[in-house]
Chain A
Amino acid sequence: MAFDAFSRRNFLKTAAGAGLVATIPGTEVVAQGGLKILKSRCDQAIETIDPGWRLGTVDDNIMRSVWQGLISVVPGESWNWEKQLATEVVQETPTRIRFEMKKGVMWSGGFGEITAEDVKFSYERIANPDNKMAYRTDWEKLDRVEITGTHSGIIHLKAPFMPLWLSTLPAGSGLVLPKKAMESKGITKITTDPLAYSGPYRIKTMEPRRLIVLERNPDWKGERPAYDEIHYIVVLDANAAEIAYEAGELDMTHLPIASVARLQKKMPAKSKLVVKPSLAYWWLGMQMEDGPFKDIRVRQAVQYGLDVDMVLDAAFFGVATRSTGIIAPGLIGHRPKNQIEKPDVAKAKQLLAAAGFPNGFKTDIGVRNSAEFVNAAQAVAASLANIGIQADVRTFDTGAQKALAGDKGGKWKEMGLHIVRFSMQPDPSWATAWFVTEQIGEWNWERFSNPEFDKLHQSLTSELDEKKRDEGYRRMQDLMEASGAYVFLTHGVNALVHRDTVAPALSPDAQRQFWNRFKPA
């Protein structure tokens, strides 16, 4: 994957240059036989499209269609960004980013022009720790946004913050919200009504558990989208989605890994399969504060005892390869290899015996209630049975698992093992953020706490030297592995199938959809 160009130098270069693509006027796509409609599958119900509270890619897809940011990720093979509301974004110093905005871009609904006020409002609300937003880390280094003119301003950082260019400004947390609309309606948290539009589409129908229909925003001045309407149809079940696709109810859908193997053998007619390495990461985690896994020898026994290849083969049908950490290949901080590369059952048994468990023990392995996870858990359980650890699979809804693992009252002790997948933005700090001490009781389910790790996480976000960042993040993953609490499994793949009459515009990991750039093929 062409990711090598993704360096700081390139960023600065791009930032200084003009955002060419955005300014090219669009060629008209003539609607044939009425409206041109794109039907895509939405794999979960929409709960909120607030950038500070977004839950996943699906909300992200909608958000980026109804609003604009200063800059935005560009669909394609490599991680690049382009200017949207901005005419100029310049990193003048490591802590000072100056921006100029287009003039005359209006909010829908009579809320006036989009100004630097909106930018200030949108970024500072996420950064404000009092608001306790889920994505506050995206803006944790923000000092303030200084307004220097109606359409210009300066983003002041407390410290240099490299993820800004990769996972904050061009992503959801960089979107600009309608300040006036929100304030006039007294709304501090957006649910499913954008209040005012600035993006290429606006919401025609919003039935969060069934269907979201986007139609053209008549005020949109940019390139005219090829599709008149986007139907984002909620189909939770992957099988149902595949059937819907085959029946013509969907033009595209993401696929579970099991289907990739099958589709690779036999494609449906007039379809194309897209399989891209995912940025996400899967791992087997051990809760290291209580129970048998308190003993590092037990954790190491698992690290040695687990046959990861077998697990991957079973759960991912041989489609995914083993990962070396939590940072995917191509990103800064990717580790070339694991410390423990091959399973060693004898050593694992020896470690267990030394820890006082010559006959093994019983524990629970918690996973999300979906086929891939349950298969992985069963495979892990089968593999661990070889060293005498008897792991019962417990399945959860996503929320329930976090509630248990993050329980303040000590319920987390119930769970010894868990298999988790975290999604990822293209900056390494996005992966490490969840494993700092502060995250214990939140997302750090292993309850891993390492001062060096915490310090590195803090300092590396401000580190300008790319090489130092690279080394630092590798070190952090070494620390994780050395703690014994982690067995890195895979990054998985993102797969989707689409009609050959559609030319999709996707993020490099094929995760995000850029609907206004989709074209009929």
Chain B
Amino acid sequence: MGFIIVVLLVISALGADFLATHDPFRMAPRQRMLDPSAEHWLGTDQLGRDVYSRVIYGGRIALWVSLTAVSLSLIGGLILGMLAGYGPRWLDNLLVLVFDAVRSFPTIMFALAMVTLLGPSIPTIITVIVVASIPVYGRIVRIQTLSMKETEFVLAERALGAGPVRILFSHILPNVIGPLLILASMEIPVVITIEAGLSFLGLGVRPPTPTWGSILQDGYQYIRDTPWLVIAGGLPLILTTLGFTFLGEALRDAFDPKLNRH
């Protein structure tokens, strides 16, 4: 179920150019806020743009932002977490301090600060999300690495003469990556929501680039005129969140060694 939704999302993002029925940027002020019709499947927005096409293109942004941000934070968290867990004590202390400092900052406040500093754009959003979520992954990896470091099999590897690089990548990584991938797939909808949230606040992707957040924002703004914008912006968000959450749960089941033991 989750897999199907995610696949549909990926297809729609990749094939946005073919799937969209209109130019998502083209305005027709006189055609504003139309109800869904054969011409405009999800109606039009306050500037007369085709909402369906904007939703499709918005999915591309959502996916691009979330996949990039999640994979970057995953890699960053993995490296920093393993460094903290396996490296010298002072480095661990330092990294934990940094992780805590970043985590203690509410993401939105942090995003506000970064956006003020760098200006709203896709790279800014990705940077914000990456910086804000590296500690999430980093902490998990660190804890796992720390506990792995003391396990007998790691000691056994060391006793055989294995160096730190080999131990980290050949033995600790495979044990850490599973839960991390699950977390990542669960994080994707969170990231999409953050992106949408920032766009909703006007701090995200710049208009007129369509994103679900900005469609939702428009919808909110004109909810008293037409309900379709909110539905069009909100529904894909809900579905995607569901999809990735289901996928994450499926992944968790797949990765759980207790369930595929025999």
A residues neighboring B (CB under 8 Å): 239, 242-243, 258-259, 262, 310, 313-314, 317-318, 369, 371, 374-375, 377-379, 381-382, 385, 392-395, 400, 414
Contacts and interface: CB of A to CB of B under 8 A. Distances in A.
29 contacts: A239-B223, A258-B46, A258-B221, A258-B225, A262-B225, A313-B30, A314-B32, A314-B47, A314-B48, A369-B201, A369-B202, A375-B46, A375-B47, A377-B207, A378-B207, A378-B208, A379-B47, A381-B207, A381-B208, A382-B27, A382-B47, A392-B206, A394-B120, A394-B206, A395-B120, A395-B202, A395-B203, A395-B207, A414-B119
Interface string B24-36: 0111011010000
B224 A379 contact: no
B208 A317 contact: no
B116 interface: yes
B222 interface: yes
A400 B202 CA distance: 13
A242 B29 contact: no
B116 A259 contact: no
B222 A258 contact: yes
B47 A239 contact: no
B107 to A, nearest CB: 18
Secondary structure at chain B's binding surface: helix, strand, loop or mixed?
A: loop
Nearest to B26: A382
Interface string B20-60: 00000111011010000000000000111000000000000
A235 to B, nearest CB: 14
B119 A394 contact: yes
A314 B222 CA distance: 14
B220 interface: yes
A387 to B, nearest CB: 15
Given A374-B207, A385-B25, A393-B206, 9 more contacts: A258-B222, A258-B225, A262-B224, A310-B27, A371-B46, A381-B207, A382-B25, A395-B202, A414-B119
Contacts of B223: 239
Nearest to B203: A395
A499 B72 CA distance: 55
Secondary structure at chain A's binding surface: helix, strand, loop or mixed?
A: helix
The 5 lowest CB-CB distance pairs between A and B, nearest first, are A314-B29, A313-B29, A369-B202, A393-B207, A395-B202
A382 B48 CA distance: 12
A242 B47 CA distance: 22
Contacts of B116: 400
Contacts of A377: 207
B208 A242 contact: no
A185 B48 CA distance: 57
Nearest to B28: A314
A317 B46 CA distance: 9
Contacts of A371: 46, 218, 221-222
Contacts of A243: 224
A310 B48 CA distance: 12
Interface residues of B, number: 26
Contacts, number: 66
Contacts of A314: 27, 29, 32, 46-48
A52 B177 CA distance: 62
Contacts of A258: 46, 221-222, 225
Contacts of A374: 202, 207
A375 B47 CA distance: 7
Nearest to B226: A262
B29 A310 contact: yes
A369 B203 CA distance: 9
A242 B224 contact: yes
A66 to B, nearest CB: 34
Contacts of A378: 27, 47, 207-208
A393 B30 CA distance: 22
Nearest to A309: B29
Interface string B181-223: 0000000000000000000011100111000000000101111
Nearest to A415: B119
A374 B201 CA distance: 12
A259 B74 CA distance: 45
A371 to B, nearest CB: 4
B202 A382 contact: no
Contact of A259 (B47, B119, B224): B224
A369 B206 CA distance: 11
A371 B224 CA distance: 14
A133 B187 CA distance: 50
A402 B221 CA distance: 25
A239 B27 contact: no
A314 B31 CA distance: 10
A242 B32 CA distance: 21
Contacts of A313: 29-30
A94 to B, nearest CB: 48
A455 to B, nearest CB: 37
Contacts of B224: 239, 242-243, 259, 262
Interface string B61-83: 00000000000000000000000
Nearest to A382: B27
Contacts of A262: 224-225
Contacts of B202: 369, 374, 395
Contacts of A381: 207-208
Contacts of B222: 258, 371
A309 to B, nearest CB: 9
Interface in B222-253: 222-225
A239 B220 contact: yes
A394 B25 CA distance: 16
Nearest to A238: B221
A313 B27 CA distance: 11
Contacts of A239: 220-221, 223-224
Contacts of A392: 121, 206
- Which of A239, A318, A395 counts the most B-chain CB atoms under 10 A from its CB? A395
Nearest to B112: A397
Contacts of B120: 394-395
A381 B120 CA distance: 17
A382 B221 contact: no
A382 B32 contact: no
Interface in B107-124: 116, 119-121
Interface in B1-35: 25-27, 29-30, 32
Contacts of A414: 119
B152 to A, nearest CB: 57
Contact of B208 (A310, A369, A382): A382
Nearest to A256: B221
Nearest to A399: B116
A377 B27 CA distance: 12
A475 B46 CA distance: 37
A393 B208 contact: yes
A359 B48 CA distance: 27
Contacts of B119: 394, 414
A316 B222 CA distance: 13
Given A259-B224, A394-B120, A400-B116, A379 B29 contact: yes
